[in-house]
Structure formats: structure tokens, C-alpha cells
Amino acid sequence: MNPPLRVVCGSCLRSVEIDSPEESGPVTGGVCPYCGDRVDSDTEATTSRTRVAEGPPIEGDSRGGQPSSWAGLWSRGSLGSLGRFQLRERLGDGGFGEVYLAFDPRLDRDVAIKVLKQANPTERVMERFFREARAAARLDHPNIVAVHDAGFDQGRCWVSFHLVNGRPLNWYRDHHRLDPPTAARILRDLAEAVDHAHRQGVIHRDLKPGNVLIDDHGRPRLIDFGLSRRSDVESSLTRDGAIVGTPAYMSPEQALGQSRNVDERSDVFSLGVMLFEALCGQRPYPMSGQGSFSEVAGGGKAPSSRPRTPSARALNPAVPARLDRICMRAVAQDPADRYPSARALADDLDAWLLRHRGATRLRQRFSAGILLGLTAATILGAAALVALTREHPAAAGPAASGVAGVPEPHAQARALLANGDAPDEPADLPAARPPAKSKAASPPRAKAVATTARFLGSTHSGKFHLPTCSSVAQITDGNLLELEDPEEATAKSLKPCGICKPLAAPRTKGP
């Protein structure tokens, strides 16, 4: 039994799997789960797909005036098959080839397959197309998309790649905020990938945001080595004087068509242009509508007449000065002024990232230390206040603080009268003073005015007490009255205390 085939519904253009035909039977149809229309072998789309799978002769080139049969199949809703691959979705369309999402039944996995547009190409065209496959097959790096296979079927050249779920760097840059550390990290990873290619003798020559995919984890992946050149192999595919690359990102020597002088530093220039654009949103050398590539890059001019190397920091003040210097060196006009290799650029970007990360961590630790210190001080202060309140309840109140002129309580009168000692301190000193911890055994003495009085009255409560009553400690100096007999208390409209019962106490002589 053959595996199911995937076709595109002619009504809703959704991808649908249908049963594959047996060798001696027709395709069994089905109903599209999206729109409900029938999808089977009777439709023109499926019949067209079957003819492509059988490998009919294909005439012409889709780049010419008449569309190729592939374009016709796409418009009718069926992608068909190429060799063992089932084409499921078209991912991209370029001037040289088309990229499809395809299923490889032999290895049971999805791949990205690049198909040459030109049918039955010449040997020279095939050599140029397969040069990308041979160049990328030499490379094994986490930031370079790997090549799985390459071949020629049904008059078409194809190369299958590892499928990456991601978006081009230019799309990612427009839909995400790229701060300087993020831009530096992406270009650092790309510079390491380019350095790996250079060590294997491969010069990319077409580094640009469209050839960089940012995957679901934010990791850049380098693709499309179609214009690459082997530095260790003499090639006649690119003649000297031909302009190879994308004008907005090519180096001045590329813009002048000096293909023999293009080396690792040309790729460094392209990396610098991408870094500049990621930092400030525009390229360092904007192309004019009328100028040639060499005029844009300043090629062919004397060093004194060339435009100065632009600064990303001048366009975006948020760019750190050290990172701006790295970017300026990468996009220098003269190759001798640039980084000698992509490895040197990657090392400087990595050093800046480590320095920036360390400064960020230091600021975070300093802020955390301040917050921790304030929290600890608050906790200790609260604990000290609770301890003071428990040990000296009267001192914790507003009267003990002496704020707003509130008089301090006459807290030690009862203890002083109980001891019968004369005061050692002047009469105008405060009556309540918190004792030192080393002298906690002897409490401080109160004022001397309470030593000769038989009764003590309070104008606030309207009562009089014996000097030994516990309520005396709550009477402030401003409300304290010294009384010799109950008649004096009655004259001042004071009532006897219900706790100490001063009228029932026997009369005692003073000292």
C-alpha cells in the first residue's frame, strides 16, 4: 500500500491528504475537511499531479514569457511530487529557484527543497546550482542550515535542506524590538558561523537579512550559499568584473566587480552593514536612485574623497560607544581598516556582551543590596520598637517622646514614696528616664514634691489617691495636686479613689 498523497483543494486551496492509488487501481477520493468539497482523482488538479509524478517532458523556462507547468499546477491547486519528495507548500520564490515544504517518505520527515526554475538546464547552469549544495555540505555548524541531499529528477535540479521554522531577519527586525545586546548577540552568532565557513574555504558573498532565518528560539540560521565561492578552488563561473551579491550589503570591492579581491573581509563588511541596520534602523551607505554601486560605496575614489565611516550612535544615541566603534570598524571602506576575519569581529562582540552582562549584573546586585538593607533596617527598627514597648509601656507612648509639648508622666512617684528616699537629682529634671541595661536593678527616682503629701489628686480624673496607689503613675505633672487632708480634696471637687480607698487609710506622720 502506497503512502497517502497530499494535494491542494481546488475550492479552498488548503492542503489535504488523500489515499494513494494502488498500482492497478484509481485514486480513492475524499471530502475536504475545511470546505466540504470533493477531492479525488476526477479533479483536474489531481490528474495534473499524477502526470507530474510520472515525469512528463517540460519545455521552456518559467523565467521566460510563458509560465512553466509548475506554475500552472500551483494555480490549479496541486503541487505534485518530485522524485521521492511530496511537495506540500511553496515557501518562497526567487529569481533562480523556488523553495517548497516537502515530505521525504524514505526518511519520514519534512524538508525544505530548493528547485531550479529552469527545466533541463545546461551543464554550466547545473554546476552553478549544485555549487551551493557542495559548499553548504562542507559545513557543520549550529547556525548554518544543513544540506541533506541533492539530485536531478524530471528535468529539474533540486537540493533538500533541514527545515527551519523561522522568519527572515528583516521580518524579525521589523516585528521585534532589537536592543543593542540582542543585535550584538545575533551578529556574534552569525560571525561565528561565517568564520566556520571561512575556515572550510567557503566565502558566502551574499550575506543579507533575507539569507538569515531566526528560529523559534531566537537563534540565527544562515542559508543560501548560492553565490558562495571556494577559496581553495579556482572557478571560472564568475568572471572578473561581474557584480556578485546584493547591492545594499555588498562591499566596495564587490561593487567594483573585483571578484578576485573578494575575501573574508567582504563578508565582514556585510555583517557590519547588518549590525548597523539592526542598531539604528538604516544602512550605513544608503543607495541613491541614480548612482552606481561603486559610487554608493565610494569605490574608485581616493581615500581622502571617500565618505567618512558613519556612526550608528549618531543616529541612535542609545547605542553604546564601544559597540559603535566595533560597528564602524566592520563597515570601513578600506578592507585594510576592517576586521581581518569574522573570528575577530565575533571575539569583539562577545567581549562587549560579557562586559555588558557583567555591568548589568553588578547593577542588579547593587539594587538588590540596597533593597535588602532597607528591608533589614525596617525589620530591626520594628523589632526594637516592639521590645521597647514591652519593657517600658509608658515610654512607648506619645508622652514619652516629648513631641508637641506633651508633658512626660509622673511614672516613678509611687516607687520613690515607697522607698522613702530623698531625691538626688534637681527638681526640674524629667521624672521618667529609661534605665541603662547595666543598672537595671535600681529604678530611677521621681520628683521630690511627692514626699510630704498625704494624698495625691488628679484634676484630669477628678479623684484623689494614696501615694501608694497604682493610678498615681498615670498622673502627669500638669494634673498632679498635693493634698494634706480629705477636706482639701473635697474643696477641689475631688472624689476618693475606689481602688486605694484613701478615706479608710490610717493617718501617718510625715518624715
Indicate the pairing of strand 15-18 with strand 5-8: antiparallel
Above 90 in pLDDT, residue 94? Answer: no
**Domain-located, residue 392:** no
CA angle, 355 then 357 then 362, to 5°: 95
For residues 142 and 251, state if they share a domain.
Answer: no
Provide the CB-side half-sphere exposure for 210 (13 A, CA): 8
Q: Same domain, yes or no, for 146 and 177?
A: no
pLDDT given at position 264: 93
Count of domains for the chain: 3
Instruction: Give exposure, 79-104, as e/b (b: 16+ Cβ within 10 Å).
Output: bbbbbebbbbeeeeeeebbbbbbbbb
31 within some domain = yes
Is residue 232 located within the same domain as residue 139?
no
With vertex at residue 484, the alpha carbon angle to CA 482 and CA 490, rounded to the nearest 5 degrees, is 85
| Domain membership flag for residue 491 | yes
Over the stretch 114-168, which tens digit does the pLDDT of each residue have? 999 888 888 888 888 888 788 888 899 999 999 999 999 888 899 999 999 999 9
Q: For the domain that residue 102 is a member of, what is the CATH number? A: 3.30.200.20
Pairwise CA distance, residues 401 & 395, whole Å: 7
Q: What is the pLDDT of residue 461?
A: 83
Q: Is residue 43 located within the same domain as residue 134?
A: yes
Question: Which one, of 251, 242, 275, 219, lies nearest residue 338 by Cα?
Answer: 251
The answer to whether residues 184 and 284 belong to one domain is: yes
Q: Is residue 511 part of a domain?
A: no
| Residues 272 and 331: beta-carbon distance below 8 Å | yes
149 and 96 part of one domain: yes
* Residue 197 pLDDT exceeds 60: yes
pLDDT in tens, 448-485: 344 477 888 888 888 888 888 888 888 887 788 888 88
Q: At what angle do helices 44-54 and 69-76 cross, to 10 degrees?
A: 150
Which grid coordinates belong to 276? 548597523
Mean pLDDT of 285-290: 60
Per-residue pLDDT band at 40 (split at 50, 70, 90): low
**Residues 6 or more apart whose Cβ sits within 8 Å of residue 391:** none
DSSP notation for 370-423? HHHHHHHHHHHHHHHHHHHHHH-HHHHSHHHHTGGGPPPB-TTHHHHHHHTPPP
434 assigned to some structural domain: no
313-337 pLDDT, tens digit each: 999 999 999 999 999 999 999 999 9
Is residue 269 domain-shared with residue 221, that is, in the same domain? yes
Share of the chain above pLDDT 90, in %: 30
Determine whether the annotation assigns residue 114 to a binding site: yes
- In the DSSP assignment, the letter for residue 476 is B
Q: What confidence score (pLDDT) does residue 268 get?
A: 96
Same-domain pairing of 446 and 489: yes
Query: What is the structure's pLDDT at 22?
Result: 52
Instruction: Supply 470's cell numbers.
Output: 497604682
Determine the pLDDT at residue 77: 38
Out of 119, 137, 162, a domain closes at 162
Whether residue 386 is contained in a domain is answered as no
* Residue 147 sits in the same domain as residue 13: yes
Does pTM top 0.75 for this prediction?
no
> Which domain does 465 fall in, by range?
408-424+442-504
Query: Are 252 and 355 in a shared domain?
Result: yes
The most confident of the ranges 81-95, 273-287, 434-448 is 273-287
Domain limit, last residue, from 340, 359, 378:
359
Asked if 208 and 274 count as a contact pair (C-beta separation under 8 A), the reply is yes
Average pLDDT score over residue span 367-395: 77
Helix (H) or strand (E) holding 50: helix 44-54
% the chain with pLDDT above 70: 64
Helix and strand totals (H; E) in the chain: 15, 19
Q: What is the largest CA-CA distance in the chain?
A: 139
Out of 103, 131, 162, a domain closes at: 162
Annotated catalytic sites, by residue? Answer: 206
For the CA atoms of 88, 92, 96, 100, the dihedral, rounded to the nearest 10 degrees, stands at -20
Name which of 144, 225, 145, 143 is nearest 189 in CA terms.
143
Residues 153 and 225 in one domain: no
d(CA 472, CA 431): 13
- Length in residues, the chain: 511
| C-alpha span between 271 and 229 (Å, rounded) | 17
Confidence of residue 58 (pLDDT cuts 50, 70, 90): very low
Q: Is residue 391 part of a domain?
A: no
Sign of CA dihedral 149, 151, 153, 156: positive
User: Over 90: is that where the pLDDT of 186 sits?
Assistant: yes
> For position 391, what pLDDT does the model report?
67
In a domain, 49, yes or no: yes
pLDDT of residue 328: 96
Is the confidence at residue 75, as pLDDT, over 70? no
Residue 198 pLDDT: 94
pLDDT at 317: 94
CATH code, 174: 1.10.510.10
Handedness of CA 100, 103, 104, 110 (dihedral sign): positive
Closest CA to 27 of 36, 16, 13: 16
Question: Model confidence at 410, in pLDDT bands (50, 70, 90)?
Answer: very low
- 212 and 355 part of one domain: yes
Look at 287 and 445; give whichever has higher pLDDT: 287
205: pLDDT strictly greater than 80: yes
CATH of the domain at 458: 3.40.10
pLDDT computed for residue 229 by the predictor: 78
